[in-house]
Amino acid sequence: MGFHHSTYFAYGTHIPTSHAWDEADRIDTVLARVWDICPAVGHLTAGDYDRDRLFLVTHSTEVSLGAYEHVTPDAYPPEQIADWTRQIAAAADALGYTALAAPGWLVVPDLS
């Protein structure tokens, strides 16, 4: 049995839960109902082997081991970031999440 290492670079926020995969299924169901107000929002599950963490994200890119991602401050216009932030807030509200950290750029290592 081998391991797969990767890293994700995404715009979003962490969802604190000890049941990432179960909660991811619920997120899929709820987001399908509110797609019209947050079409760019999805989820990311990644982390240390069988201890994945859960994130609400918009833009997400996998960065494979040995590769890198170059992002400059102007890679995405402020209007795009503001729209993604609004959509993540709408999705979090629809999902009943409160007191989440403000969305930002995340770097999430993954081992599977």
Each domain of the chain, given as residue ranges in start order, spans 10-111
Q: Over the stretch 32-90, which tens digit does the pLDDT of each residue have?
A: 999 999 999 999 998 877 778 999 999 999 988 888 888 887 889 999 999 999 999 99
Burial class for 29, CB neighbours closer than 10 Å (0-12, 13-18, 19+) = exposed
Residue 43 and residue 55 in contact, taking contact as beta carbons nearer than 8 Å:
yes
Q: What pLDDT score does 2 carry?
A: 67
Q: What pLDDT score does 50 carry?
A: 73
Q: What pLDDT score does 65 carry?
A: 82
